Amino acid sequence: MNLEKTTKVYAFVGPSGTGKSYRAQLVANENNIHYIIDDGLLIHDNDVVAGNSAKKAPTKIETVKKAIFIDKKDRDEMRIALKKIKPESILILGTSDGMVEKITDNLGLSHPEKTIYINEVATETEMETAKRIRTTEGKHVIPVPTFEIKRDFAGYILDPLQIFKYRRNDTPYISEKSIIRPTFSYLGKFTISDTVFRQITEYVAKKTEGIHRVSKVRVENTVGATNIYVEVYVIFGYNIVDVLRNFKQKVKKEIERLTTMNVQEVSVMAKGIHMPEENK
- Residue-wise pLDDT tens digits, 23-70: 787 788 888 999 999 888 898 876 778 887 766 666 667 778 888 998
Q: Is 187 part of a structural domain of the chain?
A: no
pLDDT band, residue 211 (cuts 50/70/90): very high
What pLDDT score does 87 carry?
92
Q: What is the C-alpha separation between 124 and 128, in angstroms, rounded?
A: 6
The 3-class secondary structure across 218-230, one letter per residue, is: EEEEECCEEEEEE
* 26 lies in the same domain as 119: yes
Domain that holds residue 55: 3-180
Q: Name the range with the highest mean pLDDT among 36-45, 53-62, 91-100, 167-176.
A: 91-100
pLDDT band, residue 174 (cuts 50/70/90): very low
* 173 lies in the same domain as 209: no
* 122 lies in the same domain as 47: yes
* 238 lies in the same domain as 116: no
Sign of the torsion formed by the C-alpha atoms of 197, 144, 48 and 79: negative
Closest to 181 (Cα-Cα) out of 43, 18, 55, 42 = 55
* 66 lies in the same domain as 151: yes
* 201 lies in the same domain as 106: no
Pairwise pLDDT comparison (150 vs 22), residue with the higher score = 22
* 176 lies in the same domain as 199: no
What is the chain's mean pLDDT, rounded?
77
Q: Residue 132: CB partners within 8 Å, gap ≥ 6? A: none
- Segment (H or E) for 140: strand 140-142
* Count of structural domains within the chain: 2
Q: Which amino acid is at 9?
A: V
Q: Which of 180, 205, 237 corresponds to the end of one domain?
A: 180
Q: What is the pLDDT of residues 224-253, one digit of tens each?
A: 567 899 999 999 999 999 999 999 999 988
**Rounded alpha-carbon distances, angstroms, from residue 93 to 99, 120, 198, 224:** 9, 14, 36, 33
Q: Is 140 part of a structural domain of the chain?
A: yes
* 106 lies in the same domain as 211: no
* 9 lies in the same domain as 92: yes
Q: Which of 113, 148, 180 corresponds to the end of one domain?
A: 180
Q: Is 188 part of a structural domain of the chain?
A: no
Q: Is 186 part of a structural domain of the chain?
A: no
**Rounded alpha-carbon distances, angstroms, from residue 135 to 37, 168, 179, 187:** 23, 34, 14, 12
Q: What is the pLDDT of residues 148-161, one digit of tens each?
A: 444 454 444 444 44
Helices (H), the chain: 20-30, 60-67, 72-85, 97-107, 124-137, 146-150, 194-207, 240-259
CATH number of the domain to which 264 belongs: 3.30.70.1350
Q: Is 185 part of a structural domain of the chain?
A: no
Q: Does pLDDT of 71 surpass 70?
A: yes
Burial of 115 (0-12, 13-18, 19+ CB in 10 A): middle
* 84 lies in the same domain as 124: yes
Burial of 195 (0-12, 13-18, 19+ CB in 10 A): exposed
Q: Is 135 part of a structural domain of the chain?
A: yes
Q: Residue 186: CB partners within 8 Å, gap ≥ 6? A: 138
- Summarize the confidence of residues 115-128 as an average pLDDT: 85
Q: Does pLDDT of 1 surpass 60?
A: no
